[in-house]
Amino acid sequence: MEVFTNDDMLKEQKHSLITLYLAYFADYFCWGVAVALIACYISPTEGSPFIDLFFSRQASLGIALAAFPVGEVIGSPLLGDLSDWIGRKKILIGGLWGSIFSMLLCAFALHVGSFALFVLGQFLVGFLSGKQAMAQAAIVDIEAGNKGQKLAFLSVVGGISWIAGPAIGGLLMQVPIGGVILPSLLATLVFAVSLVLTYVWFTDTYQPQHRDTSISKFWSNIGSMFVLTWKESLFFIFFLNLLGWYLLVVSLSDFLIVRFNLTTAQIGFFNSYVSLCFTAGGIIGTLWILHRWRAKHILFWSALIGSVGIFLIFGAQTLAELWTYLAIPAVTESWIYPAYQTVLSDRTSEQNQGKLFGLIGASNGACQFVASIVLGGFSSQSAILIAAILFLSSAALLPVLTRRRSQTTPQSQ
């Protein structure tokens, strides 16, 4: 009989944490190294690898960008339920195998010039990125370390992947022969490394509940997001702000191509710069902003300043201006997002905290999808203007909501 000491158990748990962080990194790196550069694949200046675009360039761009978040919205609740049902490790391994296949499908589609296959591959990549929620649940299951610190470290992991992904992807696409498929192949390699470490290092301590899942339950989970948006007006404002942020994110690459005629490498660096500003803002917010002021007190000014930054981006005519203006909404959004999470959590009962954060996660995919649809119908410059208006609207609605809530709360008591 094999006897495990405390040191052995601690080592095993650390290995499991490393594996889960790498799985989380792989999904975000995949998004940064390949998905964030979709506009470059349908570029009007550098040529497109696709030979069968069935729609206009703008509509095709919107469809390609929408495929990932649609898959994410569907996959997140399904994979989360399955991980509770059959265990974390089985879902993680199956999801990583699926991610490898999906990225290879994207590379093959780019190689043969099939837009339809590429959209299918993007949908599958998004669907399988739903394993992120399972990875976070598995991190919480591990006893070693402080729960808050373990989850907070995910922001650092995500920031690093968002910084590295677009920069590396943009450089790889400059390779004369086969450069267009190299970002997808690199993402495949990262998923493969994560898969090997999952087989070798990850120990699943979670006991599956073997409870039933159904299509009706899935649609109920999706519908809960819209019910909460209707009942909780602050969630609606949060949704407006988040939609504005994703409109800026999905429009940026095409905006850089159309207005400034940048190369794919330059676009990759600009995307990495936005991620760096977001990460730096998050560190400032964690160490100072959100410690010095209450979350609800920073929302208005952060959203207002962020809207000014996006209006300035819309009007930017030089790269020097763009470097300066891009930092404004990136930094402020890194404060706005956790501040909304905090305020919404404070307004939600302890029994519904899990559902709340699950709905916040689903909202990310929904906002990415809506942003992609908007970009499919409008130019990237118009989409950025809409993003600025959404930021400004969310700021304008906040004082009204706060005043109304302060008037109704004493009556309810």
Report, at the CATH architecture level, how domain 14-202 is classified: Up-down Bundle (1.20)
pLDDT number for residue 383: 94
For residues 110 and 118, is the Cβ–Cβ distance under 8 A? Answer: yes
Structure confidence at residue 408 as a pLDDT band (50, 70, 90):
low
Structure confidence at residue 395 as a pLDDT band (50, 70, 90):
very high
Higher-confidence residue: 308 or 402? Answer: 308
Structure confidence at residue 222 as a pLDDT band (50, 70, 90):
low
For residues 279 and 182, is the Cβ–Cβ distance under 8 A? Answer: no
Two domains, one topology: 14-202 and 225-404: yes
pLDDT number for residue 104: 95
For residues 99 and 125, is the Cβ–Cβ distance under 8 A? Answer: yes
Of 3-7, 166-170, 251-255, which range is least confident? 3-7
> For the whole model, what pTM was predicted?
0.69
Q: What is the pLDDT of residues 8-63, one digit of tens each?
A: 667 777 888 888 888 888 888 887 777 667 777 776 555 667 777 777 777 887 78
For residues 133 and 126, is the Cβ–Cβ distance under 8 A? Answer: no
pLDDT number for residue 244: 95
**Main-chain phi, psi angles of 91, to 5 degrees:** -70, -40
pLDDT number for residue 204: 74
Q: What is the pLDDT of residues 307-361, one digit of tens each?
A: 999 999 999 999 999 999 999 999 898 888 877 777 776 776 544 544 555 566 6
Owner of token pair 């998923």: 191
Residue 111 corresponds to which tokens in the numbers above? 């190689």
Interatomic CA distance for residues 272 and 159, integer angstroms: 9
pLDDT number for residue 413: 37
- Nearest Cα residue to 357 out of 85, 132, 67, 143: 132
Is residue 122 over pLDDT 70?
Answer: yes
- The ranges assigned to domains in the chain are 14-202, 225-404
CATH topology for 225-404?
Answer: Growth Hormone; Chain: A; (1.20.1250)
For residues 128 and 99, is the Cβ–Cβ distance under 8 A? Answer: yes
Of 95-104, 205-214, 260-269, 345-354, which range is least confident? 345-354
Q: What percent of the chain has pLDDT over 90?
A: 23
Interatomic CA distance for residues 89 and 411, integer angstroms: 50
Q: What is the pLDDT of residues 237-267, one digit of tens each?
A: 888 999 999 999 889 988 999 899 988 778 8
Q: What average pLDDT is seen over the chain?
A: 79
Higher-confidence residue: 162 or 232? Answer: 162
**Main-chain phi, psi angles of 3, to 5 degrees:** -105, 130
